[in-house]
Amino acid sequence: MFVYADHAATTKMRPEALKAYTEAANAVYGNPSSLYSFGQQAKELLTACREKIASLLGADAREIVFTSGGSESDNQAILSAAYAGAKKGKKRLISTAIEHHAVLHTLKKLENEGFEVVLLPVTQEGLVRAEDVEQAVDERCALVSVMLANNEIGTIQPVEEIGQICRAKGVPFHTDAVQAVGHIPVDVKKIGCDYLSLSAHKFGGPKGVGALYVKKGAPLRSLIEGGAQERGKRAGTEDVPAIAAMAAALEVSIAGMGTANALLKRLQDKLIDGLSHIPHCALNGDRTKRLPSNTSFCFEGIEGESLLLLLDDKGVCASSGSACTSGSLDPSHVLLAIGRVHDVAHGSLRLTLGEENTEEDVEYLLKVVPEVVDYLRNMSPVWRDLKEGKRQFIL
Ligand SMILES: *Cc1c(COP(=O)(O)O)cnc(C)c1O
């Protein structure tokens, strides 16, 4: 059995995206900046993709900048707004404790350059409170950045309310919508954001390509200097095949969203209900305000790292909030932000399903996850102490 349950990390390319990719790579491989007609064909395809992506997000084609993915889009949006704000003496940046590292590390860099960074806390359910944003924003703010859906615990944030607050106070608003675009409805006008980041490989497109929505009139500075591509805001020959694949993937994802989410919701209910029977566990993130693909749990008395390795032996691709693999022993900042203590946060498991997953996959997960948790607990000295009452259970 092989179960891919890590769609928040990346997704398989959709057949329509692969087809668009190979067609463009074969037939329209000219450089869109070349003046001869073969180059102009590539340019026309690029324009058509920009228009398609824009219309699928409720944006204007001129408001879409192609990038190398979510990380670049986040960097460009935040740095653009921050430096534009600083010119007017605004050096305060507001964000949240549960953002992706592409946001958090960019903010850290700006903090080292003298910006004031405020990271708002979240509720135990992993939700940002719009009231907190309202209290924190004032005329000194250069930017508010709040993600649309969290990549670890799947919680969906009140971005429309936050957008309204920002508009009322005249503060630019960026949202990292990488986990949302192609999965739940996203309309830049409804959100009322100035910047929105998306990444193709999270919705069945290729890796290494994404886009940044930049509202007309919002400042934008380039991160990469060179040619005049993307209206001078992102140098480098455009990856037209990848962009064509991204446009195709987005179109198909949005068209199939209703059906996909009905399936995912059913699988999620089954998975959450089933895993809840494991003793001393807890669901991470709000039960309802979450992506239908995301199931995240903490199991007391185990290490997420060992859990992943044993699941890998059983053919399951999953993820853990524990960041041991990245060489640090710190547990996930998201799990700490929702109030999990270190030991509990280390025992986390994130299963993120996609529309190619089946009922059988979920049944298999419901068989192997409890077995593996049990096996690890039986070997764990921490679990023995908990059972013998030498330590208090937290969950
Ligand atoms: C994956 C992800 C990113 C980074 O996107 P890349 O295209 O891999 O650079 C940023 N933010 C969130 C919420 C993500 O899930």
Give the ligand 1 atom nearest the CA of 147.
13
What per-residue confidence (pLDDT) applies to 271?
A: 98
What spacing in Å lies between the alpha carbon of 81 and ligand 1's midpoint? 19
8 A C-beta contact, residue 361 and residue 5: yes
Which residue, by CA, sits nearest to atom 4 of ligand 1?
A: 70
Mutate to test the pocket of ligand 1, among 73, 176, 201, 333 (most ligand atoms within 8 A of CB): 176
Residue 322, pLDDT score? 58
CA angle, corner 355, sides to 354 and 359, nearest 5? 95
- Does the beta carbon of 176 sit less than 6 angstroms from any atom of ligand 1? yes
Query: Which ligand 1 atom is at minimum distance from the Cα of 200?
Result: 7
Q: Which residues contact 225 (CB under 8 A, 6 or more apart)?
A: 235
Evaluate: CB of 182 within 6 angstroms of ligand 1: no
Ligand 1 atom nearest the C-alpha of 99 is: 13
Q: Give the residue, by CA position, lying nearest to ligand 1 atom 10.
A: 70
Cα of 202 vs centre of ligand 1, distance in Å, is 8
Q: Is the CB–ligand 1 distance for residue 179 below 6 Å? A: yes
Q: Is 324 a catalytic residue?
A: yes
Structural contact between residues 11 and 245, judged by C-beta atoms closer than 8 angstroms:
no
Inter-CA distances, 242 with 73, 181, 187, 199, 210, Å: 16, 17, 23, 11, 9
Q: Are 321 and 348 in contact (CB under 8 A)?
A: yes
Measured in angstroms, how far is the CA atom of residue 70 from the centroid of ligand 1? 4
What CATH architecture is 3-10+257-387?
Answer: Alpha-Beta Complex (3.90)
Per-residue pLDDT tens, the chain, 395 aa: give them: 999 999 999 999 999 999 999 999 999 999 999 999 999 999 999 999 999 999 999 999 999 999 999 999 999 999 999 999 999 999 999 999 999 999 999 999 999 999 999 999 999 999 999 999 999 999 999 999 999 999 999 999 999 999 999 999 999 999 999 999 999 999 999 999 999 999 999 999 999 999 999 999 999 999 999 999 999 999 999 999 999 999 999 999 999 999 999 999 999 999 999 999 999 999 999 999 999 999 999 999 999 999 999 999 999 999 997 555 555 667 899 999 999 999 999 999 999 999 999 999 999 999 999 999 999 999 999 999 999 999 999 99
Q: How far apart are CA 230 and CA 215, in angstroms?
A: 15
Residue 205: burial class (beta carbons within 10 Å; 0-12, 13-18, 19+): buried
> Does 175 contact ligand 1 (Cβ within 6 A)?
no
Residue 293's nearest CA partner among 57, 4, 71, 14 is 4
pLDDT number for residue 134: 98
| Among protein residues, the one whose CA lies closest to atom 12 of ligand 1 | 178
Least Cα distance to 83 among 222, 229, 247 occurs for 222
Q: Which atom of ligand 1 is nearest to the CA of 202?
A: 1
Kindly state if the Cβ of 199 falls inside 6 Å of ligand 1: yes
